[in-house]
Chains A and B, each alone.
Chain A
Amino acid sequence: MFQVRIHGRGGQGVVTAAELLSVAAFDDGLHAQAFPSFGSERTGAPVVAFCRIDEHAIRSREPVSIPDALIVQDPTLLHQVDVFGGLRPEGYVLINSGLSLGELGLGDWTAEFRSERLLTVAASEISRGHLGRPRPNAALLGGLAALTGIVSLEAIVRAIESRFAGKLADGNVAAARECHETVRAALEVFAGA
């Protein structure tokens, strides 16, 4: 079982991201379960959503407390909410930020984890370039596909296209592809280092 937890704020498409990830995993022939943290949604309030992915039917219904991967859509949550709580030592982290982990004040924290699995990517900027506004959720899914390999980029693209139409679909697909490429390039740098 591969468990993903997504942190963001109300209005940033956190729940949609978890749902799209589950649709992509399903498209890849896997079992997946996505669900929100069941809060009373308010714009700007911290929101959490979860996605479990497995080769077998998923029975558990509890929130993801020991994630294999984390997506942080809003870096202002880093020092406000325990976003890293329960992360496995071999876990993956993708933070939406143009700053490095060190610049975000996370330099010391990363020592316990595998550094090549912890990345930042400027997904808001990428999505702004394609959509005209910062909607990083779909872009980050492209990045997650590159970082973890848990789902294919093409499945993410099909999930986005099944959810959105027209320019919104095109922009989100382009953002997901660009984010995927950015993360892939960053991983190559790690591999070469």
Chain B
Amino acid sequence: MSTTAAFTSDKDFLAGMYQKMLTIRLLEEKVLQLLMEGEVPDLYPCAGQEAVPVGVCAALRPQDLITGTYRGMGHMVAKGADLKPIFAELYGRKTGCCKGKGGAKHLAAFDKGVMGAYAIVGASIPIAVGLALAAKMLGKDQLVACFFGDGASNQGSFHESLNLAFIWRVPVIFVCENNLYAASTPLKTSTAVDHIAKRADGYAIKGLTIDGNDVEAVYQATKEAATRALRGEPTLLECLTYRYGGHFAAEDRIGWNYRTAEEIARWKKQDPLERAEIILKDRFGWSSSEKKMLEKGIREEIEEALEFARQSPPPQPLEALEDCYFEMDHNFLWRWPE
């Protein structure tokens, strides 16, 4: 594993990252509960991986862009998206961040630079290269961080995109959230290399493997990658991490069983939130009352967002025909029931 120069946050900065991670954790807890109760139909959990989006986005500027995956709640919160439209989207409401059309797999906040989440594995990688190409061609002071998993690194789009990023010298950071499993398939049995970062060598870009559960390390590595990106030097940043929940929320209910309890317990000892909390306490004398205050505030925010979603009207059925080029003739002029 590569190490980057030791980085020491100041208290507020680290507490800010911790707050974001805790928001993601608590938000997911809440949504999973609602899912069990049948109120929310779909979710792809990311608990355990919070340090990656939070550390990366902490190193980005407001004008920088990200592309996410269907495991996208963390990316949204980390880049500063409001919780209300997230909740409303999960509920399929008109006030959702995609008007209820994208749903859990397609969270987006264009005003915050979250340029969509993509439910085809590896799909966002060429798009991120294109976003970065436009940033370069238009002379924008902007870079793009592209999130994807270890499974995506076996898609052709990954390999095509790294090659394009190098030959076009675009400002992009490829952030691989390596949680060791592509759905249920272990990295070991599906992937020729033990570390995804090695694949950078094939495309003449810098590849780094870092501890993805150390939010400061993720921040620091991204900061350095951002400097390179703005010089037109892409980086493949592999963040080793682990997802506690299923690939999809209900996988254990249909009998998926591919990880041992010991393995999960081992990773939980490396929990990104607990590690940040320890640093906050040891280094900055953070008190448990400060944590409680933080948690209380987040829980309130979540409840407000949930209430917003529940109170929001569902979309009208005819709105299904909006937001797409749609041939009115085809469906209505030609004998459609009134």
User: Do chains A and B stick together as partners?
Assistant: no
